[in-house]
Amino acid sequence: MMKVYTHKNINQIQKYIPKDCNVFAIIDNKVKDYFREFKNWNFIGIDALENAKTLGTAGDICSRLMEKKADRNCFILGIGGGVTTDLAGFVASVYKRGVKFALVPTTLLSAADAAIGGKNGVNHLGIKNMMGTITQPEWVFQSTEFFRTLDLRVFREGIAEMLKTFLLMDEESFFEGAEFFSHYDHKSPSPTQEQHLRSLVRRCAELKMNLVEKDEFDHGARMFLNLGHTFGHALESYYEGEILHGETVAAGILASARLSVKLGVMEEKTLNLITDCFSACGILFRFGVKATDLVKYIANDKKISGGSIWFILPEEIGTKSEARSIPVPQFKALCKGLVL
């Protein structure tokens, strides 16, 4: 399984790069400045837009690798948020039938989640992550140094994904994270706070990796990580990229919790507790979209099989969730009256 290196500063990265390899950094243009001192790397800058996470962009990156004569022994670094790490991982896993790569996530969301677990890919015809591979990077390098330049909205996307992981697997971290983020100013944190953030991000990544180790190719346990994503991806398709992934996931988690209450899986008081924690962390989003209007997007979801939809229903914070196969007509009925 891949390794995760967590450091305060990015200058530590050099020691993990294999010797005698040409490094090709597929990098989000917004974070290029952080890497000015790495003069011996070849940089391929991209504008990290969700609607550019496509086969076309992946093809362009491959063309640029060919122009720069990247051979099978090259080492690819994917540096940026989830859009960049998903694209770079995809390119690395198909370029010349696969070359070694590592990821350097620069958003909270990608450090705690997107860069972890080997899933990469591109969107197609407006559907999220329709094509991709599951290929593990050699390592992931986490540093909180990057997060200070994130927009607040983007930082909060990461909070949503982290609370999702903790909600599924670690009660103590869920409440610790909710308390921490309710007071955290990501633009000017104290060194102690930043250290605390590093430990939370690392813990979150480790929880995800433990699950991925049990089910790397997503045939069972890993599906729990989809909590909130069925509604989330549908909302993203509905808005055609106007709202951010983490925002839709946050709304999707609460909608799933409300379905859980409807089905008698979760107690109302647990739903209220989760809602309060999301609100304190600034990730309580209300879009005013009827769940019934999202069903047509859900029909394209990879989690639909045999006329039923695999849905993750949270039950107790950090300890219990259920994966339930719900026939589409029943799902539609349950969606009535649910507004995201």
Ligand X SMILES: NC(=O)c1ccc[n+]([C@@H]2O[C@H](COP(=O)([O-])OP(=O)(O)OC[C@H]3O[C@@H](n4cnc5c(N)ncnc54)[C@H](O)[C@@H]3O)[C@@H](O)[C@H]2O)c1
Binding site for ligand X (CB under 6 A): 28, 30-31, 48, 50, 53, 80-84, 86, 106-107, 109-110, 113-114, 117, 119-120, 128-129, 146, 149-150, 154, 157, 245-246
CB of 329 to ligand X, least distance (A): 29
**For ligand X, the closer CB: 219 or 269:** 219
Task: Tell me the C-alpha distance between 50 and 8, whole Å.
Answer: 28
**For ligand X, the closer CB: 204 or 317:** 204
What does the block give as tokens for 98? Answer: 């696969």
**For ligand X, the closer CB: 64 or 186:** 186
CB of 59 to ligand X, least distance (A): 18
Nearest to 231 by CA among 174, 279, 292, 274: 292
CB of 123 to ligand X, least distance (A): 8
CB of 50 to ligand X, least distance (A): 5
**For ligand X, the closer CB: 157 or 301:** 157
Alpha-carbon Rg for the chain in angstroms: 20
Residue 191 to residues 115, 145, 186: CA-CA distances in angstroms?
24, 11, 11
The H or E element containing residue 104 is: strand 100-105
**For ligand X, the closer CB: 77 or 266:** 77
User: For residue 27, what are the β-bridge partners?
Assistant: 45, 79
**For ligand X, the closer CB: 240 or 268:** 240
**For ligand X, the closer CB: 168 or 266:** 168
CB within 8 A of 41, min separation 6: which ones? 23, 24, 25, 35, 77
| Contact assessment for residue 29 and residue 46, using Cβ atoms and an 8 Å cutoff | yes
What is the full DSSP assignment across 190-218?
Answer: -HHHHHHHHHHHHHHHHHHHHHHHH-TTS
CB of 272 to ligand X, least distance (A): 27
CB of 340 to ligand X, least distance (A): 18
- Give the residue closest to ligand X by C-beta: 82
What does the block give as tokens for 84? Answer: 């960049």
Amino acid at 250: A
CB of 85 to ligand X, least distance (A): 7
